Amino acid sequence: MARAGRLPGETVTIPAAMTIPSRPMNFNPGPAALPRAVLERCRDELLDFGGTGLSVMEHSHRGAAYERAHHATTARLRALLDIPDGHGDAGYDILYVQGGASQQFAVVPLNLLPPGGRASHVVTGAWGERAIAEARAVAATAGGGAPRVVASTVPAPGDERTLRRLPRPGEARSEGGDAYLHLTTNETIDGVQFATAPGATMPDLGPAPVVADMSSDIAWRRVDLRQFGLIYAGAQKNLGPSGVTVVIIRRDLVEAGRSDIPTIFQYRTFARHDSLYNTPPTFAIYLMGLVLEWIEELGGLDAIEARNRAKAGAIYGVIDAFPGFYRCPVESGSRSLMNVTFRLPTPGAEARFLDEAMAHGMTGLQGHRSVGGVRASLYNAVEPAWADALAALMRDHAAKHG
Ligand X SMILES: *Cc1c(COP(=O)(O)O)cnc(C)c1O
Which residues have a catalytic role annotated? 127, 213, 237
Task: Give the DSSP H or E segment for 249.
Answer: strand 245-250
Cα separation, 165 vs 142, in Å, equals: 33
Note whether 19 binds ligand X by CB under 6 A. no
Return phi, psi of residue 9, to 5°. Answer: 85, -10
Note whether 216 binds ligand X by CB under 6 A. yes
Which region among 51-59, 69-77, 95-103, 167-175 touches ligand X (by CB under 6 A)?
95-103
Tell me how far, at minimum, the Cβ of 218 lies from ligand X, in Å: 10
Tell me how far, at minimum, the Cβ of 6 lies from ligand X, in Å: 36
Note whether 27 binds ligand X by CB under 6 A. no
Cα-based distances in Å from 338 to 71, 107, 250: 28, 26, 26
Note whether 31 binds ligand X by CB under 6 A. no
DSSP 95-155: EEESSHHHHHHHHHHHHH--TT--EEEEE-SHHHHHHHHHHHHHHHHHTPPPPEEEEE-PP
Tell me how far, at minimum, the Cβ of 29 lies from ligand X, in Å: 7
Tell me how far, at minimum, the Cβ of 242 lies from ligand X, in Å: 7
**Closer Cβ to ligand X, 120 or 184, answer by number:** 184
Edge-to-edge strands, sheet with 245-250: 92-97, 245-250, 230-234, 210-213, 180-184, 119-123, 148-152
Note whether 380 binds ligand X by CB under 6 A. no
Cα separation, 87 vs 133, in Å, equals: 33
Note whether 234 binds ligand X by CB under 6 A. yes
Task: Give the DSSP H or E segment for 72.
Answer: helix 64-80
Residue 94: how many CA atoms within 13 Å on its side-chain side? Answer: 19
Q: Secondary structure of 278-344 in the HEC alphabet?
A: CCCCHHHHHHHHHHHHHHHHHCHHHHHHHHHHHHHHHHHHHHHHCCCCCECCECHHHECCCEEEEEC
Which region among 94-102, 190-198, 359-367, 392-400 touches ligand X (by CB under 6 A)?
94-102
Tell me how far, at minimum, the Cβ of 215 lies from ligand X, in Å: 4
**Closer Cβ to ligand X, 283 or 325, answer by number:** 283
Cα-based distances in Å from 282 to 68, 96, 314: 11, 10, 37
**Closer Cβ to ligand X, 3 or 368, answer by number:** 368
User: Binding to ligand X (CB under 6 A): which residues in 167-206?
Assistant: 184, 188
Note whether 102 binds ligand X by CB under 6 A. yes
Note whether 300 binds ligand X by CB under 6 A. no
User: Binding to ligand X (CB under 6 A): which residues in 129-158?
Assistant: none
Note whether 308 binds ligand X by CB under 6 A. no
Which region among 153-161, 170-178, 209-217, 246-254 touches ligand X (by CB under 6 A)?
209-217
Q: Is 50 exposed, middle or buried (0-12, 13-18, 19+ CB in 10 A)?
A: middle
Q: Are 107 and 131 in contact (CB under 8 A)?
A: no
x/- string (CB under 6 A) for ligand X, residues 253-292?
----------------------------------------
Note whether 127 binds ligand X by CB under 6 A. yes
Closest chain position to ligand X (CB): 100
Cα separation, 87 vs 213, in Å, equals: 23
**Closer Cβ to ligand X, 26 or 215, answer by number:** 215
Q: How many residues bind ligand X (CB under 6 A)?
A: 12
**Closer Cβ to ligand X, 106 or 391, answer by number:** 106
> Which residues of this chain interact with ligand X, rule CB under 6 A?
30, 100-102, 127, 184, 188, 213, 215-216, 234, 237
